[in-house]
Chains A and B, each alone.
Chain A
Amino acid sequence: AYRTDEGQPWVLPVVKKVEQLIANDNSLNHEYLPILGLPEFRANASRIALGDDSPAIKENRVGSVQSLGGTGALRIGAEFLRRWYNGNNNTATPVYVSTPTWENHNSVFMDAGFKDIRTYHYWDAAKRGLDLQGLLNDMENAPQSSIFILHACAHNPTGTDPSPEQWKQIAAVMKRRSLFPFFDSAYQGFASGSLDKDAWAVRFFVSEGFELFCAQSFSKNFGLYNERVGNLTVVGKDADNVQRVLSQMEKIVRTTWSNPPSQGARIVATTLSSPQLFDEWKGNVKTMADRVLLMRSELRSRLEALGTPGTWNHITEQIGMFSFTGLNPKQVEYMVKEKHIYLMASGRINMCGLTTKNLDYVAKSIHEAVTKIQ
């Protein structure tokens, strides 16, 4: 979760404002939302992902399912795919997740009934970057119709995203091999500070004519973590197909949670549908993204100034909340035990944990870990 420079959680100012508006609106009540969610939320959420001028939206071939966070959107999408994709109830369709990936991806698709979950190459530990060739090879060799979980931006946990050129190559292979793109978009806006930039990959795939799913989370970019606000965007060939897909997703939702929680969706819908509040939100998002970017550049410059062995450009080249530092498990153990700096055994740090007050300490500690421990 995001933290301020004082190391505190941050409720976005625009969220506070909108919550006040909601609290003061006596016309509102706590009635059930429709099964697929709040209509104003759904439309706005998908519009955020695909862009105001999205051809898919204009052509009325976009559907949306309000979900319980990004996880809920992934689960509804996975349940639908298991029932209706690549035949009927085909649990054998391979599902590919990146190496590494958010650990819950595996469980979501397994619990949805998929029996064959595979990995695709992604992180190149040696060069501390994207193993594009490995990724493309895996796609070439994947059975046709395989499902690929793609991180739309700010890859979790590596922070390493394909460049636009690399995305183009990925899309080309996927199109040729008839692979299904399922985007996980948990950090739109939060990664680069720009909603459009962070949505580039998803929009590119749409422009290439793909049918795809995009699981969106508003946990981070709206700071609405515990309200569980998410959206599954469905892009199909035409309105008729999308309508039938949604009707079946409705049945899945009905037996999972019946209808989604209303508070978080109201906050997002109100914000996104008001030009003024929308601008304010974009500003809040940029504040968060900028702080993370600042911490990245400050950490990197300190490590380089200290002469810490190795190269540290990956700290600023990676994007989003997380960074794969390249520290090995022994070095991580040193950080945790000796320096009381908590990071994952994989060497992943949460950039949000860095503050102007602890930057020096963290940089020195990394320096020590790298020089003392091999």
Chain B
Amino acid sequence: SSWWSHVEMGPPDPILGVTEAFKRDTNSKKMNLGVGAYRDDNGKPYVLNCVRKAEAMIASKKMDKEYLPIGGLVDFTRASAELALGENSEVIKSGRYITVQGISGTGSLRIGANFLQRFFKPSRDVYLPKPSWGNHTPIFRDAGMQLQAYRYYDPKTCSLDFSGAVDDISKIPEKSIILLHACAHNPTGVDPRQEQWKELAAVVKKRNLLVFFDMAYQGFASGDINRDAWAVRHFIEQGINIVLSQSFAKNMGLYGERAGAFTVICKDAEEAKRVESQLKILIRPMYSNPPMNGARIASTILNTPDLRKEWLMEVKGMADRIISMRTQLVSNLKKEGSSHNWQHITDQIGMFCFTGLKPEQVERLIKEFSIYMTKDGRISVAGVSSGNVGYLAHAIHQVTK
């Protein structure tokens, strides 16, 4: 007999299931709107030019493959922090922060979660927005934390339930942990406006909460890296010492290279050193030290002026295409004669859009039109192109009229 007889079959990943079904479909008009990766207007994966250039530069240097330090490539972590906080940030200047390289967004979140589990004594509770990225909950749970929620998305308006959020956050027990999506909320695409962020910062400060920002889409949301980092920077300016997870999967198209970073803003540089030492103690028994390739590419781009300029243009290009698809989808829906209010599609931001479609409608889209998305009605706008936006609008109209 086997040691594993009692091991249950794990549930299939819901998002993967979408892609699997899509692959099996033989309809030539099929669309995969579950994919969490950017596609160009031909529906193809896009390798950024600045990435190709950076790779060529790196190859020509003929570097060795010696282990990185546990905390990662220093040129990368420094540049990541500067990108998020702004190079003129007082935090950067004083050195009262530590940034370690993480395995893209997930790995950075996990390091953060484990760090909080070990060193954040006041509370085990992490408050997530309702809804949040599906992987947030198991990450924090596996790290030994407990999950709570605050109101966020209003399904009636397909937009932010701001009063509900403020109401819930005002009642969060002091010294709990609150997770906020810095921009391009996943899965809803609903972000607070700047005035709303200001109010959230005030409430959070009043409740003395530890703020964990997840920034997976800097640059990718509005097309402007500074605008997308506004909330993060505002909170810090308000004296809130946040922790932050960054991903370069989407904004640099480095998905499979796993480039990410975890930052802790500290009281001073001395505290940062102590925090760093503990982060390393967490990382070492997980994977020893991080992978070089993605970090080196990202670092080359961020630290080479010409490449950085090119990157800023390319990330704006991706964001602009997404925004344009949103606009075209709405205008096509109007053309189809839909009487519904689809404004949320253009109000929302980033890769994802909560269409407001109900499960039965989603089912019809899948079965009758071979348009694949997750049951919650979330579509990846990245999967929409000028070639198929008309078909998508037509199909949505058919199932909602």
Judge whether A30 is part of the interface by a CB distance below 8 angstroms.
Answer: yes
Interface residues on B, range: 35 or more
Q: How far is the CB of B76 from chain A (nearest CB, A)?
A: 12
1/0 contact string of B137-176 vs chain A (CB within 8 Å): 0110111000000000000000000000000000000000
Complex CA distance for A30 and B257, rounded to whole angstroms: 7
Question: Would B135 and A263 count as touching, CB distance under 8 A?
Answer: no
Binding site for A on B (CB under 8 A): 1-10, 13, 16, 37, 45, 47, 51, 55-56, 59, 62, 64-68, 103-107, 110, 135, 138-139, 141-143, 249, 253-258, 281-282, 284-294
Question: Would A226 and B286 count as touching, CB distance under 8 A?
Answer: no
Chain A residues near B59: list those with CB within 8 A. 19, 23
If the complex has contacts A72-B286, A84-B4, are A226 and B67 also in contact, measured as CB distance less than 8 A?
A: yes
- From B8, B254, B290, A248 is in contact (CB under 8 Å) with B8
Complex CA distance for A256 and B284, rounded to whole angstroms: 13
Question: Would B287 and A261 count as touching, CB distance under 8 A?
Answer: no
Complex CA distance for A258 and B109, rounded to whole angstroms: 11
Judge whether A262 is part of the interface by a CB distance below 8 angstroms.
Answer: yes
Chain A residues near B1: list those with CB within 8 A. 237
Binding site for B on A (CB under 8 A): 1, 9-11, 15, 19, 23, 29-33, 35, 67-69, 71-72, 75, 84-86, 88, 104, 107-108, 110-112, 180, 211, 219, 223-228, 236-238, 241-245, 247-248, 250-252, 254-264
Measured CB to CB, the nearest residue on chain A to B143 is A255
- From A180, A247, A259, A263, B293 is in contact (CB under 8 Å) with A263
Chain A residues near B8: list those with CB within 8 A. 244, 248
Question: Would A260 and B258 count as touching, CB distance under 8 A?
Answer: yes
Q: How far is the CB of A167 from chain B (nearest CB, A)?
A: 21
Chain B residues near A84: list those with CB within 8 A. 4, 6-7
Q: How far is the CB of A311 from chain B (nearest CB, A)?
A: 35
4 additional contacts (CB under 8 A) given A223-B65, A252-B142: A30-B256, A86-B3, A228-B288, A261-B258
- From B107, B141, B289, A258 is in contact (CB under 8 Å) with B107
Question: Would A71 and B285 count as touching, CB distance under 8 A?
Answer: yes
Question: Would A32 and B4 count as touching, CB distance under 8 A?
Answer: no
Chain B residues near A35: list those with CB within 8 A. 13, 16
Question: Would A243 and B292 count as touching, CB distance under 8 A?
Answer: no
Most buried by B among A236, A243, A244: A244
Complex CA distance for A148 and B65, rounded to whole angstroms: 32
Chain B residues near A107: list those with CB within 8 A. 281, 284-285
Complex CA distance for A219 and B287, rounded to whole angstroms: 12
Question: Would B287 and A32 count as touching, CB distance under 8 A?
Answer: no
Q: How far is the CB of A100 from chain B (nearest CB, A)?
A: 17
Question: Would B10 and A257 count as touching, CB distance under 8 A?
Answer: no
If the complex has contacts A1-B67, A30-B51, A31-B256, are A250 and B287 also in contact, measured as CB distance less than 8 A?
A: no
- From B37, B56, B285, A31 is in contact (CB under 8 Å) with B37
- From A224, A238, A257, B104 is in contact (CB under 8 Å) with A257
If the complex has contacts A32-B255, A223-B65, A227-B292, are A257 and B287 also in contact, measured as CB distance less than 8 A?
A: yes
Chain B residues near A31: list those with CB within 8 A. 37, 45, 255-256
If the complex has contacts A29-B47, A110-B285, A226-B65, are A241 and B256 also in contact, measured as CB distance less than 8 A?
A: no
Complex CA distance for A110 and B286, rounded to whole angstroms: 11
Question: Would A261 and B285 count as touching, CB distance under 8 A?
Answer: no
Chain A residues near B253: list those with CB within 8 A. 30
If the complex has contacts A236-B2, A245-B4, are A11 and B64 also in contact, measured as CB distance less than 8 A?
A: yes
Measured CB to CB, the nearest residue on chain B to A71 is B288
Measured CB to CB, the nearest residue on chain B to A112 is B285
Question: Would B284 and A104 count as touching, CB distance under 8 A?
Answer: yes
Question: Would A30 and B47 count as touching, CB distance under 8 A?
Answer: yes
Measured CB to CB, the nearest residue on chain A to B104 is A258
- From A88, A211, A256, B2 is in contact (CB under 8 Å) with A211
Pick 10 A–B contacts, CB within 8 A, sort by A.
A9-B65, A29-B47, A35-B16, A226-B289, A244-B4, A245-B7, A257-B287, A258-B106, A258-B135, A261-B103
Measured CB to CB, the nearest residue on chain B to A110 is B285
Question: Would B288 and A69 count as touching, CB distance under 8 A?
Answer: yes
Q: How far is the CB of B277 from chain A (nearest CB, A)?
A: 14
Measured CB to CB, the nearest residue on chain A to B44 is A29
Chain A residues near B291: list those with CB within 8 A. 68, 226-228, 261, 263-264
Question: Would B9 and A225 count as touching, CB distance under 8 A?
Answer: no
Question: Would B5 and A261 count as touching, CB distance under 8 A?
Answer: no
Chain B residues near A67: list those with CB within 8 A. 287
Question: Would B7 and A248 count as touching, CB distance under 8 A?
Answer: yes
Q: How far is the CB of A14 from chain B (nearest CB, A)?
A: 13
Question: Would B10 and A251 count as touching, CB distance under 8 A?
Answer: yes
- From B37, B66, B258, B282, A225 is in contact (CB under 8 Å) with B66
Question: Would A75 and B255 count as touching, CB distance under 8 A?
Answer: no
Question: Would B103 and A1 count as touching, CB distance under 8 A?
Answer: no
Q: How far is the CB of A6 from chain B (nearest CB, A)?
A: 13
Question: Would B3 and A228 count as touching, CB distance under 8 A?
Answer: no
